[in-house]
């Protein structure tokens, strides 16, 4: 199964699972680029829906998931989230007001701040992460186990070969 077939299989699995693809277009004969666009739109819609159920914006949900691995510096977070430092400051202001995360000075560096999840943020991040994982897993659940593994490998290859992809630590 190639990239195009994998994208088609995931779109077909989503349709079979009752998900509506966000773009109209050709059925199973979609090319790789169109399939990837349709798949991206579908994943973003699911991510937004799950974020909303958790009373988060998609970027807040991403922030919490990144912080699940532990504290991060503000510059590192801005890079991981693909936002400017000023936008991250506003995002952090809102997260702190909601009690989800907190900034603290980095020992030995007066200008640097690190961000960590609060206990409430840890619970919110874990709950969101579990639900989004389950929702996205449903997209490929109708694929045979070998096809799911093949899709996972191809996806990893595409991500690894992209020069603009974020570092693994994001």
CA 80, CA 95: separation in Å to the nearest integer? 17
The answer, yes or no, to whether residue 98 has pLDDT greater than 80, is: yes
Q: In terms of domains, do 118 and 68 share one?
A: yes
pLDDT of residue 159: 87
- Answer yes or no: is 130 within a domain: no
Residues 64, 88 within the same domain: yes
Question: In this structure, are 105 and 49 located in the same domain?
Answer: no
Query: Does residue 82 form part of some domain?
Result: yes
- Residue 48 and residue 63 in one domain: no
Token pair for residue 48? 């937004």
Short-list 38, 3, 33, CA closest to 139 = 38
Categorize the per-residue pLDDT at 28 as very low, low, confident or very high, splitting at 50, 70 and 90. low
In a domain, residue 169? The reply is no
Q: What is the domain range of residue 10?
A: 3-53+141-161
**What predicted TM-score, i.e. pTM, was given to this entire model?**
0.76
Mean pLDDT within 123-135: 97
């Amino acid at each position: 199964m190639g990239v195009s077939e994998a994208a088609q299989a995931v779109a077909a699995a989503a349709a079979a699972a009752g998900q509506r693809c966000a773009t109209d277009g050709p059925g199973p004969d979609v090319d790789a680029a169109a399939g990837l666009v349709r798949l991206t739109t579908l994943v973003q819609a699911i991510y937004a829906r799950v974020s909303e159920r958790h009373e988060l914006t998609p970027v807040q949900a991403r922030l919490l998931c990144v912080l699940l691995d532990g504290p991060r510096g503000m510059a590192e977070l801005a890079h991981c989230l693909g936002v400017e430092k000023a936008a991250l400051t506003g995002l952090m202001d809102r997260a702190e007001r909601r009690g989800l995360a907190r900034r603290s000075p980095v020992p030995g560096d007066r200008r640097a701040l690190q961000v960590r999840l609060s206990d409430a943020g840890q619970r919110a991040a874990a709950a969101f992460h579990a639900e989004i994982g389950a929702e996205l897993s449903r997209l490929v659940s109708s694929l045979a186990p070998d096809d799911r593994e093949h899709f996972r490998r191809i996806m990893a290859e595409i991500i690894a070969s992209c020069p603009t992809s974020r570092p693994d630590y994001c």
